Structure 1
Amino acid sequence: MDDAVDLAYDYPVLGAFWTVMWIFLWVVWLVLLFRVFVDIFRDHEMNGWAKAAWIVFMLLIPFLGVLIYVIVRGRDMGRREIQHAQEQQEAFNAYIRQTAKGAGTGDELARLSELRSKGDLSEEEFQRAKDKLLS
């Protein structure tokens, strides 16, 4: 009975399992920690002192700080994440619309230039149409 049995080291596969499990838990912990830090700075309703207090709390007592943060403010974390994703999507859509509009303007200018070179438009009509397009 004096011999202690360490199963993880008697069976190399079990030792590998425990190593992989601890690495996985460490990565999950880091992801959660960074998500909480990002959420603290993303929240515009929280004032600077409250943000500083949460950061200090999580730096001094990381596991307890993150656990309490997720319990107290976890529900709003999802809402802020969704809101941020929607803002990014709207910005992307606005960029696409702006870029597509600019491409259409170039096509219209090329068409106007072609009409002017054929003689279908006078120089004055071309300038008015060009000014209208560019404004």
Structure 2
Amino acid sequence: MIWDAFWLMLWFFYIAAYIYVVVLIITDLFRDEKLSGWWKAVWIIFLVFVPFLTALVYLIARGKGMAERAGARRGIVAESDDYRPAASASPSDDIAKAKALLDAGTISQGEFDALKSKALGNQYFGA
């Protein structure tokens, strides 16, 4: 009796997971602008007649593209070093730049102290 309930829940989970994957595949097919309508139709036909094997092949063959299209839809860009600030030559350069900003009135004394302690901390910790 308990094993029957266990197997029933397991099968419900597998069916729900499969339906989720099929919905993801169909959504990805219609979002893909590079794939022609004929290829989309072929994938859908195979999903109907050979569902499990087609879903597996689609995920293997086009999985990376699925992730890229989903990321592009969410506005996620590939990680790049261009976004990271360049490392300065020395802590004294950082302090001199911060002092120039303080003298120009761009930053406050507290901000200058924070930048100075960060520059000196980077010197000792190698960050």
TM-score between both structures, scaled by the size of structure 1:
0.53
Report what 1:69 is aligned to. Answer: 58
Report what 1:36 is aligned to. Answer: 25
- Structure 2 distance, partners of 1:85, 1:29, is 24
Identity of aligned residues (%): 34
**Any unmatched runs of 5+ in structure 2?**
77-127
**Any unmatched runs of 5+ in structure 1?**
1-11, 88-135
- Structure 2 distance, partners of 1:55, 1:29, is 15
The structure 1 segments of at least 4 consecutive aligned residues displaced by more than 3 Å after TM superposition are none
Report what 1:24 is aligned to. Answer: 13
SS of 1:35 mapped into structure 2 = helix
Code of the aligned partner of 1:18:
W
- CA-CA distance at 1:49 after TM superposition: 1.2
Report what 1:48 is aligned to. Answer: 37
Code of the aligned partner of 1:13:
I
Code of the aligned partner of 2:37:
G
Report what 1:3 is aligned to. Answer: none
RMSD: 1.3
Q: Which has a greater percent of helix?
A: 1
Q: Deviations over 1:48-81 (max 9, x none)?
A: 1111111111112111111111111011111111
Report what 1:57 is aligned to. Answer: 46
TM-score between both structures, scaled by the size of structure 2:
0.56
Report what 2:122 is aligned to. Answer: none
Code of the aligned partner of 1:42:
R
Q: Number of aligned residue pairs: give it.
A: 76
Code of the aligned partner of 1:31:
Y
Q: Deviations over 1:84-114 (max 9, x none)?
A: 1128xxxxxxxxxxxxxxxxxxxxxxxxxxx
- Structure 2 distance, partners of 1:21, 1:65, is 22
